[in-house]
Amino acid sequence: MASDKQLVIGLFGFGVVGEGLYKVLQQTPSLNARIKKVCIKNPHKKRNAPEELFTTDRDVLLNDPEINVIVEVINESEPAFYIVSTALKSGKEVVSASKKMIAEHLPELLKLQTETGISFLYEASACASIPVIRNLEEYYDNDLLHGIRGIVNGSTNYILTKMFEEKLDFKQALLQAQQLGFAEADPTLDVDGWDAVNKWVILLLHAYGIVSHPNDVLFTGIQNIQGSDASVGREKNVEIRLVGQAKKLQNGKVAAFVLPQFVKHDDHLSFVKNEYNGAVVESSFSDKQFFYGKGAGSFPTASAVLSDISALRYDYKYEYKKLYYHQPNELTNDYYLKVYLSFDDWNYIPKDKFEWIEEWHAESDRKYLVGVIHASELKQNNWWRENGTSLILSPEPVIEDVEVRKLKKKSLELAGLNFN
């Protein structure tokens, strides 16, 4: 189909992103796209658009034969899946920003795309204005991609930046983020890491052809990070970020997790502050490449949606080459992580689960240790998320192919710990 294709859009959602898209489309007449109808939940809310544009009946959009593109930017996962799946089955192309819906329904969405042959694009679901999905999809070959690391949640990054640079405690930084609109009134999805892991599941598909679910990935958020953790970071000349990582191991499998991490000042991710997002992609011949941009807000997210709408003019669709044309990689939890752990009481810490401990500090009310632990211990248990325990990865956290068990007893003795 030619690039002069007329795009008639049915838009679901007119919040921050939906209204941003409406305004952006008004400023880009060359795109040859227009919004015919917008479906909303609350008809009584005042909106900056003509009243006749809106409806509360989703079928008005889904059953309109003139509408050939559905753009979905709502927050609720199951209604979003219904909208997307119904639209694809009806032959309408779809653009979505709903990372939770996509991450929880990857197998069904992949099957629908195969069965219908219809485009389903979702660049805005991962890093807002940063085109990381399309770059992973088109530019980086599976066999050559060593790893990807990223800060993919602007709310938590804003909070950590304020805790570190202005020495605010967690509650103060969260309140400031809420007042500025960078965090929701109920910040659980952001703060507990769910938003970031949803995005990471999507990136794993395009980086390595891995079809997974958020529950398959080791993750936590920043809910237990303490002011004392930031103080330790300053002493060690590192900063704290919530970082998603996927790393190809020597056995060809992929270690993937979303966890707080100490980052050095020469790390690209240390430059990603406040509500910004960033990603570092490492491959065999291009070394490291750094993507940086705003990760939240009306226009940054709307710009990614607009990019997908523009791509539909040329009938662009994801080919999922790494899933369908290469041998897909496999997730594994068979590796070790070097972690910093702070806590109030030794009794909450199963010390015998550590392979070795390099540092331990028990002279203050808030105690901490630095040690090595198997990733499966963290994936299968919750003690490290409970009782105010704070876990932060070291700057180079992944350890493979080490005879850790032989070193375990001696290392613990050197640390002066009696675990009997």
The question of whether 167 is a catalytic residue gets the answer no
Lowest mean pLDDT among 118-127, 274-283, 284-293: 284-293
| Contacts of 152 by beta carbon, 8 Å cutoff, 6+ apart | 126, 127, 195, 196, 199, 200, 203, 244, 277, 279, 295
Contact present, 327 and 373 (Cβ < 8 Å) = no
Q: Are residues 141 and 109 in the same domain?
A: no
Give me the mean pLDDT over the 229-255 stretch: 95
What are the C-alpha distances in Å from 204 to residues 250, 309, 387? 18, 23, 31
Considering the entire predicted model, what is its pTM? 0.93
CATH of the domain at 231: 3.30.360.10
The confidence score (pLDDT) of residue 420 equals 36
Lowest mean pLDDT among 87-96, 118-127, 322-331: 322-331
CB atoms within 10 A of CB 294: 18
The last residue of one of the domains, among 68, 99, 127, is 127
Residue 419 belongs to some domain of the structure: no
Give me the mean pLDDT over the 183-192 stretch: 87
Supply the range of the domain harboring residue 197.
Answer: 133-294
Catalytic residue among 37, 92, 162, 199: 199
Q: Number of folded domains in the chain? A: 3
| Contacts of 72 by beta carbon, 8 Å cutoff, 6+ apart | 12, 13, 80, 83, 84, 87, 94, 95, 96, 97, 98
Contact present, 274 and 131 (Cβ < 8 Å) = no
Contact present, 368 and 342 (Cβ < 8 Å) = yes
First to last CA, the chain: 72
Q: Are residues 109 and 47 in the same domain?
A: yes
Residue 320 belongs to some domain of the structure: no
